[in-house]
């Protein structure tokens, strides 16, 4: 029986991908490329697709390959592949849950501590050799609004609760008996929740429904001087509205790991604003993450080759609107 064909699209920064990816050849006929053009060509007779270049819109921007039955993304987010055509098709979409969630939660905790304990100014004063004593504030007892109750949100919720933070989780609809969050608030409740929050954390997937969810109106509803953290996707935020909110002090600090355009252009105002922390989409990336991603993928690839049910299947109906 002929083995199924799998196309792997790598980002330009990777020559061959992690060495452990070679194990894929044990289960499929594998074509690895960094070229979008070649990927499109090879996908015409392929049944499987691993999108490692997780921001490449090759699936969204082209007709669906006729034989494609499985797409796997080397990320938790699937916005690069979840087009209306994919959502309406029989193609199974899986993602890399179980690798990135806890590292992102640690990153969020670090950002909140950085703001509360004023670590950025401590570093600045050290470089200037200035002995600047000042009191800082406690993280314990603060109230955080967490927008996004998915796998990443659950890890953020659990970790912040462990250090004494009150976390109000927000999703599309209200749930009164969520096994993790207890009460989960709806998006309609944000206007009542935002004014009480010391920090707002955005951890939603990017869909047509969530694009621009943090806009001028919602920034105006935040507590004056509070913090805003985005570890979801840049497209979730109206960045012009955020800039205005930062300039007038409505948002006191913004810690941003994702942006509408990546890499962030060198002339963007975020780079030079003292109240903004810019990181290059790295909140999930611990040393050795690539091999962890491959291990998750190879487990599913073996299942796929043997005709067994796949793991980490994305609910396309829930994620696409």
Report all structural domains of the chain as residue ranges with CATH numbers, in order of start.
5-99+287-319 (3.40.50.720), 101-278 (3.40.50.720)
Classify residue 19 by burial, with Cβ atoms within 10 Å: 0-12, 13-18, 19+. Answer: exposed
Cα–Cα–Cα angle for 58, 107, 129, rounded to 5 degrees: 120
Of 16, 188, 262, 311, catalytic: 262
Write out the DSSP string of 151-206: HHHHHHHHHHHHTT-EEEEEESS-EEEETTTEEEEEGGGHHHHGGG-SEEEE-PPP
CB 12 within 8 A of CB 36: no
Instruction: Kindly state the tokens that stand for 58.
Output: 């090759």
CB atoms within 10 A of CB 100: 25
Catalytic site residue 140? no
pTM: 0.92
The pairing of beta strand 143-147 with beta strand 166-171: parallel
CB atoms within 10 A of CB 54: 18
Q: What is the pLDDT of residue 16?
A: 74
Write out the DSSP string of 219-278: HHHSPTTEEEEE-S-GGGB-HHHHHHHHHTTSEEEEEES--SSSSPPTT-GGGG-TTEEE
pLDDT by position in tens, the chain (length 321): 679 999 999 998 877 788 999 999 999 999 999 999 999 999 999 999 999 998 899 999 999 999 999 999 999 989 899 988 999 999 999 999 999 999 999 999 999 999 999 999 999 999 999 999 999 999 999 999 999 999 999 999 999 999 999 999 999 999 999 999 999 999 999 999 999 999 999 999 998 889 999 999 999 999 999 999 999 999 999 999 999 999 999 999 999 999 999 999 999 999 999 999 999 999 999 999 999 999 999 999 999 999 999 999 999 877 543
Write out the DSSP string of 73-135: ESSS--TTT--HHHHHSS-EEE--TTTSHHHHHHHHHHHHHHHHTTHHHHHHHHHTT------
For residues 146 and 12, give the distance between their C-alpha atoms in angstroms, rounded to a whole number: 34
Catalytic site residue 281? yes
Of 154, 184, 233, 319, catalytic: 233
Q: What is the pLDDT of residue 320?
A: 41
> Positive or negative CA dihedral for 120, 122, 128, 130?
positive
Instruction: Kindly state the tokens that stand for 163.
Output: 């250090």
Write out the DSSP string of 31-64: EEES-HHHHHHHHTT-SEEEE-STT--TTTTSPP
> Positive or negative CA dihedral for 222, 223, 225, 228?
negative
For residues 266 and 192, give the distance between their C-alpha atoms in angstroms, rounded to a whole number: 37
Catalytic site residue 217? no
Of 38, 117, 161, 281, catalytic: 281
């Amino acid at each position: 029986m002929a083995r199924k064909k799998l196309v792997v699209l790598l980002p330009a920064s990777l020559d061959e991908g992690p060495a452990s990816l070679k194990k894929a050849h044990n289960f499929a006929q594998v074509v690895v490329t960094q070229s979008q053009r070649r990927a499109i060509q090879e996908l015409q007779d392929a049944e499987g697709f691993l999108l490692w270049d997780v921001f490449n819109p090759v699936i969204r921007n082209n007709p669906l390959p006729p034989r494609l039955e499985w797409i796997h993304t080397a990320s938790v987010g699937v916005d690069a592949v979840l087009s209306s055509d994919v959502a309406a098709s029989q193609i199974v979409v899986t993602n890399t849950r179980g690798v990135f969630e806890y590292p992102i939660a640690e990153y969020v905790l670090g950002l909140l501590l950085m703001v509360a304990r004023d670590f950025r100014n401590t570093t600045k004063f050290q470089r200037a050799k200035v002995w600047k004593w000042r009191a800082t504030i406690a993280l314990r007892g603060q109230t955080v609004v967490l927008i996004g109750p998915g796998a990443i949100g659950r890890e953020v919720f659990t970790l912040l609760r462990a250090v004494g933070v009150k976390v109000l989780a927000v999703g599309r609809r209200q749930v009164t008996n969520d096994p993790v969050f207890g009460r989960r608030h709806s998006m309609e409740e944000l206007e009542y929740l935002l004014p009480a929050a010391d920090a707002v954390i955005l951890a939603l997937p990017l869909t047509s429904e969530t694009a621009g969810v943090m806009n001028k109106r919602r920034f105006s509803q935040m507590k004056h001087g509070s913090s805003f953290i985005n570890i979801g996707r840049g497209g979730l935020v109206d960045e012009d509205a955020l800039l205005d909110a930062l300039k007038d002090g409505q948002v006191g600090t913004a810690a941003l790991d994702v942006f509408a355009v990546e890499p962030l252009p060198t002339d963007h105002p975020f780079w030079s604003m003292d109240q903004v922390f810019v990181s290059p989409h790295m909140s999930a990336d611990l040393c050795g993450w690539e091999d962890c991603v491959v291990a998750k993928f190879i487990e599913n690839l073996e299942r796929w080759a043997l005709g067994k049910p796949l793991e980490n299947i994305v609910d396309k109906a829930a994620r696409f609107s």
